[in-house]
Structure 1
């Protein structure tokens, strides 16, 4: 394990230690409301944001380095046809299972530390594409129609990387001719993680996967590192620096 960042009472570190992985799984179970562990946990590097004084884990996520030939090993490939993206030539990282402790989910210092740690990891590994699944709570799309209309109008993936349908149950929001989005309502209902990806220039699939096991609707989300706006890069790297 190694420390990526340390500021004040908070530390972010990367680890593959079994005890740390178990602690991350416990936080995920608390945050998601169900037991959450899979075979990918053993393959990933886990990032933990913790309180130095108490040792409590306040946030966690996992990172899996991939390239075009290994993309099928990702969690996202279980739900999306990523044949187009397999032609991407640079190093990719799947960021997954991002969650915060329910008592600290709105702490801006914790979130800044998490994104700073992500930035440090991406820079160190020379990653060119960050991707994952961004989840809306629940499996009913009606509550998120403005968000989906906004994604369809402004944030669909480039054609050359377009994720195709693979899962048996999906909501094809880009094909539904959704109404003109109310941008304020759409952004307010957008999952915080996805909102951050979009501010980084992120793009999404044209459909959401209905996942009853996790009680979510999720969209494939990609961020090409070179396309992140310069001002946003400066903000992210200011945390690291």
Structure 2
């Protein structure tokens, strides 16, 4: 996979510390980036693992959540598109399961770096949010788009999220990422069904002006359906999808407006997460875990 094995001459940390050099090598070669119990996180190493990731995504998005299938999806039983070949694929493997590695994948993230997005003609999220405008306002930052977050139902636990974050931490350090972005979803295509949670995001979790991103014209749906004083914050937080709660916990903020994705049957919001603004205790925690696997 060319994006995993690409040489990096602009990453000096690998020459300064044996530990950092080993972590650098692990990202480059698909080595282990974290482990909790029988779960291991790393990048996909080959086409067989990428195909297996697409099968896991199909099981969740189409089999469980009811995304709209076309003839190709039904024939292949894989969720794939033109971005997959340009992305790195972070995956969680359960080593307690039988079979080869590519049959033990239980979770994944698709990672699209800014330079790869340029080769693709833009980011995946550009169809829903004005991400390119944000990138243009911050020419000194390197952006990473997180997408296709997917964990099999029986593995949707705190430890699976934590191990994905261990892998992400190693990845963003290796590639000197400054800002993580991407869509996160509520299930269903009626924003009003999530009025309190969306209103909470609009009133309490919006980006600062310099990081603001707006839903594209023609697809913009307002999130502030309830006034601030009508939002029961405890109820609203409880109603947030776990992934969005996890993003907010580490310091992410939310863009302006939501978008209905009829193909996937979701209502999407936009996550903006400058790495420098991630809470120090989370950076220290995930950094310590990453160092443990570089030892």
Q: TM-score, normalised by structure 2?
A: 0.75
Aligned to 1:2: 30
Aligned to 2:106: 58
- Per the TM alignment, residue 161 of structure 1 is displaced from its structure 2 partner at its CA by 2.8
Are residue 225 (structure 1) and residue 275 (structure 2) matched?
yes
Kept after mapping to 1: 8 A contact 2:179/2:274: yes
Are residue 90 (structure 1) and residue 141 (structure 2) matched?
yes
Aligned to 1:100: 151
- Per the TM alignment, residue 7 of structure 1 is displaced from its structure 2 partner at its CA by 4.2
What SS class does the counterpart of residue 37 from structure 1 fall into? coil
Query: Could you tell me which of 105, 125, 136 is aligned with 1:76?
Result: 125
- Per the TM alignment, residue 16 of structure 1 is displaced from its structure 2 partner at its CA by 5.4
Are residue 18 (structure 1) and residue 47 (structure 2) matched?
yes
Kept after mapping to 2: 8 A contact 1:163/1:205: yes
- Moved segments of 4+, more than 6 Å: none
Kept after mapping to 2: 8 A contact 1:16/1:42: no
Q: 1:36-81 CA distances to partner (integer Å, 9 max, x unpaired)?
A: 21100000000110012424111111111116x9396111112112
Query: Could you tell me which of 42, 49, 60 is aligned with 2:92?
Result: 49
**More helix, by proportion:** 2
Q: 1:81-120 CA distances to partner (integer Å, 9 max, x unpaired)?
A: 23133221211111111110122113x3322211111111
What SS class does the counterpart of residue 83 from structure 2 fall into? helix
Structure 2: 5+ residue runs without aligned partners? Answer: 1-28, 68-72, 74-78
- Per the TM alignment, residue 219 of structure 1 is displaced from its structure 2 partner at its CA by 0.8
What SS class does the counterpart of residue 166 from structure 1 fall into? coil
Q: 1:120-165 CA distances to partner (integer Å, 9 max, x unpaired)?
A: 1111111110110010000112232221121111211222232223
What SS class does the counterpart of residue 30 from structure 1 fall into? helix
Are residue 159 (structure 1) and residue 209 (structure 2) matched?
yes
How many pairs are equivalent? 239
What SS class does the counterpart of residue 154 from structure 2 fall into? coil
2:192 and 2:55 mapped to 1: Cα distance? Answer: 31
Q: 1:198-226 CA distances to partner (integer Å, 9 max, x unpaired)?
A: 11211111210011110000011110000
Are residue 187 (structure 1) and residue 269 (structure 2) matched?
no
1:167 and 1:139 mapped to 2: Cα distance? Answer: 18
